Amino acid sequence: TATCSITVNKAVTATPTISYDATNFTVTATGNGTVKLYKDGVEVSNPCVLTQTDSKQTYVFTATAQEDGKEISETVTKNVTVPAKITKVTSITLNTDSIDMKVGEARFFPKVTIEPEGATNKNVTWSSSDTSVFTVYEVNGFIKAVGSGSAKLIATAADGSGVKAECLVGRYTEIMPGR
């Protein structure tokens, strides 16, 4: 009589996966068995919480898994880019509350002060509350009186914060000579 011995090896199912929660800036590695997470080649806690910085940062995450004491040779890699920290404008101040102009006259925009000083986007957009009184030439940085009356010159933060500053622009019907 002959005897036969059969050994059945358990299939390894420990292949890890890496997920990134962009709302909470959290990277998590999951899989069967023991899963290790590495950020730029250094083992980190699982999950790993990232922080926003003043400049965009990209990290390379890898994960390995062990099941039944056997290291899985398959490694999963994921690049995670954390968006730059955004500091919104909290106030805009103009260096004047009013501008008097004659029809046909042009003036440069008032000086703008943005707070906080470390705001990510310090740009403003300019607009007129009544374009029959004055026109805004944003590309050239000036306004031009085109009719009688008064209207508001509005500087709005370009960062989407909704912060605004205004000054009153008054016009007179007198046309300046040579214009």
Sign of CA pseudo-dihedral 168, 174, 175, 177: negative
When pLDDT is cut at 50, 70 and 90, the band that residue 73 belongs to is: very low
User: Higher model confidence: residue 28 or residue 174?
Assistant: 28
The reported pTM is: 0.58
Residue with tokens 């999950």: 47
Q: What is the pLDDT of residue 158?
A: 94
Using one digit for the tens of pLDDT, what is the confidence trace for 3-41? 555 555 545 555 777 888 877 788 888 877 778 888 888
Q: What is the pLDDT of residue 70?
A: 61
When pLDDT is cut at 50, 70 and 90, the band that residue 56 belongs to is: low
Residue with tokens 């007129």: 128
With 0-12 / 13-18 / 19 or more C-beta atoms within 10 angstroms meaning exposed / middle / buried, residue 36 is middle
Highest mean pLDDT among 11-20, 37-46, 158-167: 158-167
Nearest-angstrom CA–CA distance, 62 and 81: 14
